[in-house]
Chain A
Amino acid sequence: MQMMHVSDFVHGKTQDIIYLDHAATTKVDPEVFEAMVPHLQEEYGNPSSLYGLARRSRIKLEQARETVASFIGADASEIVFTGCGTEADNYVIKGTALAKGEQGRHIITSAIEHHAVLHPCQALEKQGFEVTYLPVDEYGLVSPEQVAEALRDDTILVTIMYANNEVGTIEPIAEIGAICRERGVWFHTDAVQAVGKIPVNVDELNVDMLALSAHKIYGPKGVGALYVRKGVRLPPLIDGGAQEEGRRGGTENVAGIVGLGKAIELLQRRGEEDNRREAALRDRLIAGITESISHCRLTGHPEQRLPNIASFVVQYVEGEGILLSLDMEGICASTGSACTSASLDPSHVLIAMGYSHTLAHGSLRLSVGRENTEEEIERVIELLPPIVQRLREMSPLWADARKRGEVT
């Protein structure tokens, strides 16, 4: 194998990269880019202004809103554009606290949510709110029964992700939503990873709010959207002008929103076929890697998972070492290892699923996308085993396991 030179590595000069981190972000699709460009240049009108230049921006903005709404089975008036998925989640959680803090101060979420949900919940705990973090099973599944048991008279919000970003497990959102609806409690789902990968219909899912993000679906960074069911009133977090029907101040990111609309159009056109193809690549990765590397297993639910995420724990090695080594081969991947975060704590998701700290440190996530080819997948399956072997030869844990005869 031909490793690139260290200085090329430092500066990221990669000739041919194999991008397997689509759950982190995606490349803007050329059609999306094309749709956006006019709104960064000649079509620069402020959608709130009166004249023709502005009206044209407004029309595009509202068309994008229609597109997003119809894709998830909502009405255009129920869509609020935000600066990102994280903002949408924050809006729901802090907005609900503002709207309903007088009626109740209890929120239910899960232990495996994205930080975009966990951290606003923790911020509210400091304000005197009580948060229940539901446990998950070994596959990362939240049980609807546990949601029902956790509901209290003072519960104002339940927020459970549709699909987990680290292990790809799909949560039983429709069932949980039905329980919340019966009890009259607002239900939000962070669908940032799910949109475009699995069917998303707000009525079928029984959700009151749903967050999504453009850059996970070949749209631009800096744009998200929040579905807010009619009748659910959230006071704005960003006070300012009357944009977004007074729900979010600030001049709209027209180019970005138009990009989101186009990205959704592409999902409508080709999403199903992409997902079928990506699921096959994912399955090949899972089979190829778990067969060729000992003491390595799939994390997350074996069937109830996103079509694009293959996630593993590789015992006796640490994830960042795998990532650095893959990067030196031009392969982009991800890990929940503490060593890639400032906190020193490994993935809260894997810990919640019952994995030990050392195992959680050896996590590896490969998320496929539109442009990946079978050849790329085969190359990764070929390159990964020697990388893991080299790191294991360096690992005292591997040495000890060998002395104990647990590995060969």
Chain B
Amino acid sequence: MAVDFMYSEKVLEHFRNPRNMGEIEDADGVGDVGNPKCGDMMRITIKVDEATGTITDVKFKTFGCGAAIATSSMVTELVKGKSLQEALAVSNKTVVEQLGGLPPVKLHCSVLAEQGIVAAIQDYYAKHPEKTPPPELESKAQYLEKVDPHGWPDGDQ
């Protein structure tokens, strides 16, 4: 049956009960990605253990459709407790697989989720110039759809 226009049960479950929703106030890294034009905006905040380079906490806030919320939720689950290097290895494909698939028109949401993590890690290293980022960061970051958080629509009447 061609049901690729539908959300999987897993997607709906994450939409209903999102994991790690929120914003870490004293975050070590913040990733703001997305674009108001296509309607998905994601903020990933991470807490990193300085000594071990492990993501001890991660939270998301997302403005977007069911898929955007579900992919944000899933990606936070996938990177929590991982080292920064391991987190960078989490691809959008993994997010999609873990969600039991996404309708083709929603695949960009999973890309956004991956980018959110990359952006947060990039921000972490920007705040810690003394640390050497894993080599993957540079190659992954070049695909970031960079968003200036202050460029986000404000007071949009």
Interface residues of chain A, those whose CB is within 8 Å of chain B, are 3, 6-7, 9-10, 315-318, 320-321, 324, 328, 337-342, 344-346, 356-359, 361, 393-401, 404, 406
Contacts and interface: CB of A to CB of B under 8 A. Distances in A.
Nearest to B5: A342
Contacts of A321: 15, 64-66, 69
A3 B39 contact: no
A395 B9 contact: no
B39 A318 contact: yes
Contacts of B74: none
A315 B153 CA distance: 11
Given A397-B152, A404-B154, A337 B39 contact: yes
A395 B152 CA distance: 12
Q: Secondary structure at chain B's binding surface: helix, strand, loop or mixed?
A: mixed
A12 B153 CA distance: 36
A338 B63 CA distance: 13
Contacts of A394: 18, 21, 61-63, 69
Contact of A397 (B16, B66, B108, B153): B153
B86 interface: no
Nearest to B104: A342
B9 A10 contact: yes
Interface in B51-84: 61-69
Contact of A396 (B39, B62, B156): B62
Contacts of A397: 41, 63, 152-153
Interface of B: 6-9, 12-13, 15-16, 18, 21, 23, 32, 36-43, 61-69, 105-106, 108, 149, 152-156
A328 B7 CA distance: 13
A316 B9 contact: no
Contact of A395 (B63, B108, B149): B63
Contacts of B41: 396-397
Nearest to B10: A6
20 contacts: A6-B12, A10-B6, A316-B63, A317-B63, A318-B64, A321-B64, A344-B38, A358-B63, A358-B153, A361-B36, A394-B18, A394-B61, A394-B62, A394-B69, A395-B62, A396-B32, A396-B42, A397-B152, A400-B154, A404-B155
Contacts, number: 109
Nearest to B34: A396
Interface core residue of B32, B40, B64, B106 (most chain A CB under 10 Å): B64
Interface core residue of B36, B43, B63, B64 (most chain A CB under 10 Å): B63
A269 B19 CA distance: 54
Contacts of A345: 37-38
A12 to B, nearest CB: 10
A397 B32 CA distance: 11
Contact of A338 (B18, B23, B38, B153): B38
Interface core residue of A9, A328, A396, A398 (most chain B CB under 10 Å): A396
B39 A357 contact: yes
Interface core residue of A3, A315, A339, A357 (most chain B CB under 10 Å): A339
Contacts of B61: 394-396, 399
Given A324-B12, A357-B36, 12 more contacts: A3-B16, A320-B65, A338-B38, A339-B39, A339-B64, A339-B67, A344-B38, A344-B108, A361-B39, A394-B18, A399-B61, A401-B155
A331 to B, nearest CB: 15
